[in-house]
Structure 1
Amino acid sequence: MAGRKQFDVDEALRGAMLVFWRWGYSEASIDRLTEGTGLGRGSLYGTFGDKSALFRKSLERYAQTYHPLYEQALSGPHSSPGAVVAAYLGVTLNRIADPDVPDGCLLTMSAAQLPALDAEGQAMVRAMIATLRGMLEQALRAAGAGEREAAELALCTLATNKSLAVLSRAGFSGEELSTVAAVAAR
């Protein structure tokens, strides 16, 4: 039937998300995106718009996939602020260990390439990081941290999370990454 999509849009979006995750925005060429999604250029553009729009949709998909895992881990109750940090970083370690996704983190890769993104993409990356930071602060306060301690621990936990993503890309072992997370939680 004319005009009807002959492919799974959600699966194509997942493929695009993985391309951006593996290569970053700058190196995610249209050729890589067509290969990763299994779509021709016309279908890619017709379904998702330009590369920037596809990136933003991929980033949304990433958040829809992983933010609920962080929310669940932070929902508590937690016996201490260190337990909050451990729960949060545990989600990160599980994602890094997943053989079905690239090393690292799409959000970390995107933050590192912020100047290459359009204004809307930059705003999305900043908003997603702010959301995670806010979730952490709230959970840390619920676990007994004061305002200032919660803010400082949330920032350090977020920095540790991003460093775990970078170290995983650099080939550090799961054991080494677990050591980083355990020390951060202490």
Structure 2
Amino acid sequence: MAGRKQFDVDEALRRAMLVFWRWGYAEASIDRLTEGTGLGRSSLYGTFGDKSTLFRKSLERYAQTYHPQYDKALSGPHPNPSAVVAAYLRVTLNRIADPAVPDGCLLTMSAAQFPALDPESQAAVRAMIDGLRAMLERAMRAAGADGPEAARLALCTVATNKSLAVLSRAGFSAEELATVATNAASGARTVPTPG
């Protein structure tokens, strides 16, 4: 039938997400995106718009895939903030260990290439990070942390999450990554107050 798409749009978006995840925005050329999705340029542009729009749709797909896993892990109840950190980072380690996806994290890769992104994409990346941070803060408060402590622990947990993604791309072993996560969780009550 004329005008009807002859491919699975959701699968093409999943594949585009993996290209951005593997290469980052700057290195995810249109050639890599067409090769990765199996679509021609006209189908890619006609379905998803320009590269920046496709990137933001890929970020949304990433969030729809992984953020519910973080939300479930944080839903608790958790006996203390250390347990919140451990639950959150367990999701990270499981994603990193998944052989079906690239090393690291699409959101971390995108934050690392922040200057290469257009303002709308920069805002999307920051909003996603802020959303995860807010999710962590709520869980920290539910586990007994006061407001300032919850905010500090959430920030440090997000930073640990991002560092795990970077270390995984650099070839650090699962055991080494687990050591980082375990120590972050065990130190969750000893975050020094600035000043």
User: TM-score scaled by structure 2?
Assistant: 0.95
* Code of the aligned partner of 1:8: D
Structure 2 distance, partners of 1:93, 1:163, is 12
Structure 2 distance, partners of 1:42, 1:3, is 13
Aligned to 2:158: 158
Aligned to 2:70: 70
Percent identity over the alignment is 83
SS of residue paired to 2:123: helix
Aligned to 2:127: 127
Aligned to 1:92: 92
Structure 1 distance, partners of 2:171, 2:100, is 16
Aligned to 2:190: none
* 1:130-158 alpha-carbon deviations (Å, 9 max, x no partner): 00000000000000011111111000000
Structure 2 distance, partners of 1:139, 1:41, is 44
**Is residue 9 of structure 2 the alignment partner of residue 9 of structure 1?**
yes
RMSD: 0.4
Structure 2 distance, partners of 1:152, 1:59, is 26
Structure 1 distance, partners of 2:89, 2:149, is 18
1:140-151 matches, cutoff 5 A: 140-151=140-151
Could you tell me how far 1:182 is from its partner in structure 2? 0.2
Aligned to 2:29: 29
* 1:65-90 alpha-carbon deviations (Å, 9 max, x no partner): 00000000000000110000000000
Structure 1 distance, partners of 2:52, 2:136, is 29
Q: Number of aligned pairs?
A: 186
Structure 1 distance, partners of 2:72, 2:177, is 22
Aligned to 2:192: none
* Code of the aligned partner of 1:86: A
User: Where does structure 1 differ by over 2 angstroms across 4 or more consecutive aligned residues?
Assistant: none
Aligned to 1:81: 81
